[in-house]
Amino acid sequence: MTVIQDTPAVSGFRPTRQHVGHAMKLLPFARYLPRHPLFLGLAAVGVVGALAWRNRAKIAATARPLVDAAAARGQALRERVQAARTRRDEPTGL
């Protein structure tokens, strides 16, 4: 099996003849892209999804403080709304 040389941008991935063969089989579908740009969008979503899945632990570690801060702000807003509702429902004494 012949292995194509790595490039620094894709370290860790070694394309083989089988990968190249799969890519060549998909090449005729490229003629449908101008008429159906949705295919290109779906491919982009697939690539982004694969990258996100691969880096999910790093993304979760980065997003956790943001999610916690948003939850705290949401809880404070909920308490303020509840307090405003109870003040509105209290009799005024008139």
Say what the pTM is.
0.43
Q: Are residues 91 and 60 in the same domain?
A: yes
pLDDT at 5: 52
Q: What distance in Å separates the CA atoms of residue 55 and residue 13, rounded to the nearest whole number? A: 16
- Please state which of the ranges 9-13, 51-55, 59-63 shows the lowest mean pLDDT: 9-13
Q: Which of 11-15, 25-29, 69-73, 76-80 bottoms out in mean pLDDT, i.e. has the lowest?
A: 11-15
| Residue tagged 């943001």 (tokens) | 66
Alpha helices in 12-55 (DSSP H): 17-26, 38-54
Same domain, 82 and 41: no
Tell me how many domains the chain contains. Answer: 2
Show the beta-strand stretches assigned E in the chain: none
Cα distance between residue 7 and residue 57, in whole Å: 25
Looking at the structure, do residues 21 and 40 belong to the same domain, yes or no?
Answer: yes
Beta-carbon count within 10 A of 39 CB:
13
Q: Among 29, 28, 24, which Cα is nearest to 39's?
A: 29
What's the chain's length in residues? 94
The whole domain housing 71 covers 55-94
Domain match, 7 and 40 both: yes
